[in-house]
Amino acid sequence: MYERKNFTYILTILDAIEKIFIYVRDVDNADAFYTYNEQMNFNASQVLLLVIGEETKKIDEKLKAEYPEIPWHLIAGLRNRIAHD
Protein backbone atom coordinates (compact mmCIF):
# COMPACT_ATOMS: atom_id res chain seq x y z
CA MET A 1 0.00 0.00 0.00
CA TYR A 2 1.08 3.55 -0.61
CA GLU A 3 1.73 6.22 1.94
CA ARG A 4 -1.25 8.37 2.84
CA LYS A 5 0.51 11.50 1.66
CA ASN A 6 0.16 10.34 -1.95
CA PHE A 7 -3.61 10.50 -1.65
CA THR A 8 -3.36 14.02 -0.26
CA TYR A 9 -1.24 15.05 -3.24
CA ILE A 10 -3.69 13.49 -5.68
CA LEU A 11 -6.69 15.11 -4.02
CA THR A 12 -4.94 18.48 -4.14
CA ILE A 13 -4.27 17.96 -7.86
CA LEU A 14 -7.90 17.02 -8.52
CA ASP A 15 -9.14 20.04 -6.58
CA ALA A 16 -6.87 22.35 -8.59
CA ILE A 17 -8.07 20.82 -11.87
CA GLU A 18 -11.69 21.32 -10.84
CA LYS A 19 -11.03 24.98 -10.03
CA ILE A 20 -9.32 25.54 -13.38
CA PHE A 21 -12.38 24.11 -15.14
CA ILE A 22 -14.53 26.59 -13.21
CA TYR A 23 -12.26 29.50 -14.15
CA VAL A 24 -12.29 28.69 -17.87
CA ARG A 25 -15.93 27.75 -18.36
CA ASP A 26 -17.11 31.22 -19.40
CA VAL A 27 -14.57 31.76 -22.18
CA ASP A 28 -14.23 30.10 -25.56
CA ASN A 29 -10.64 30.83 -26.59
CA ALA A 30 -7.19 31.56 -25.17
CA ASP A 31 -7.18 35.26 -26.02
CA ALA A 32 -10.50 35.80 -24.28
CA PHE A 33 -9.33 33.83 -21.27
CA TYR A 34 -6.20 35.94 -20.95
CA THR A 35 -8.18 39.19 -20.65
CA TYR A 36 -11.31 37.79 -18.96
CA ASN A 37 -12.10 39.19 -15.52
CA GLU A 38 -9.07 41.52 -15.62
CA GLN A 39 -6.78 38.47 -15.85
CA MET A 40 -7.76 37.19 -12.41
CA ASN A 41 -8.90 33.81 -13.73
CA PHE A 42 -5.78 33.51 -15.89
CA ASN A 43 -3.48 34.32 -12.98
CA ALA A 44 -5.34 31.99 -10.63
CA SER A 45 -5.11 29.18 -13.18
CA GLN A 46 -1.37 29.72 -13.51
CA VAL A 47 -0.96 29.34 -9.76
CA LEU A 48 -3.08 26.21 -9.78
CA LEU A 49 -0.93 24.74 -12.57
CA LEU A 50 2.09 25.43 -10.36
CA VAL A 51 0.37 23.58 -7.51
CA ILE A 52 -0.41 20.63 -9.77
CA GLY A 53 3.23 20.43 -10.88
CA GLU A 54 4.52 20.65 -7.32
CA GLU A 55 2.19 17.97 -6.04
CA THR A 56 3.06 15.74 -8.99
CA LYS A 57 6.73 15.89 -8.02
CA LYS A 58 5.88 14.69 -4.50
CA ILE A 59 4.05 11.52 -5.54
CA ASP A 60 6.07 8.34 -4.96
CA GLU A 61 7.90 7.07 -8.03
CA LYS A 62 6.49 3.57 -7.46
CA LEU A 63 2.95 4.91 -7.73
CA LYS A 64 3.81 6.94 -10.83
CA ALA A 65 5.29 3.81 -12.42
CA GLU A 66 1.90 2.11 -12.13
CA TYR A 67 0.34 4.83 -14.31
CA PRO A 68 2.80 5.32 -17.17
CA GLU A 69 0.03 6.72 -19.38
CA ILE A 70 0.11 9.89 -17.28
CA PRO A 71 2.93 12.16 -18.49
CA TRP A 72 4.26 12.93 -15.00
CA HIS A 73 7.47 14.52 -16.28
CA LEU A 74 5.55 16.82 -18.62
CA ILE A 75 3.28 17.97 -15.81
CA ALA A 76 6.28 18.80 -13.64
CA GLY A 77 7.97 20.39 -16.66
CA LEU A 78 4.99 22.69 -17.23
CA ARG A 79 5.30 23.82 -13.64
CA ASN A 80 8.95 24.64 -14.23
CA ARG A 81 8.16 26.59 -17.41
CA ILE A 82 5.50 28.66 -15.65
CA ALA A 83 7.71 29.33 -12.63
CA HIS A 84 10.96 30.10 -14.44
CA ASP A 85 10.14 31.33 -17.95
Give the structural domain span for 61.
Answer: 4-84
Residues of the chain with pLDDT under 70: 1
User: What pLDDT, on the 0 to 100 scale, is given for residue 3?
Assistant: 86
Distance between CA atoms of residues 59 and 72, nearest Å: 10
Q: What is the total count of domains within the chain?
A: 1
Three-class secondary structure of residue 59 per DSSP:
coil
Closest of 30, 79, 71, 25 to residue 55, by C-alpha? 79
User: What pLDDT, on the 0 to 100 scale, is given for residue 1?
Assistant: 64
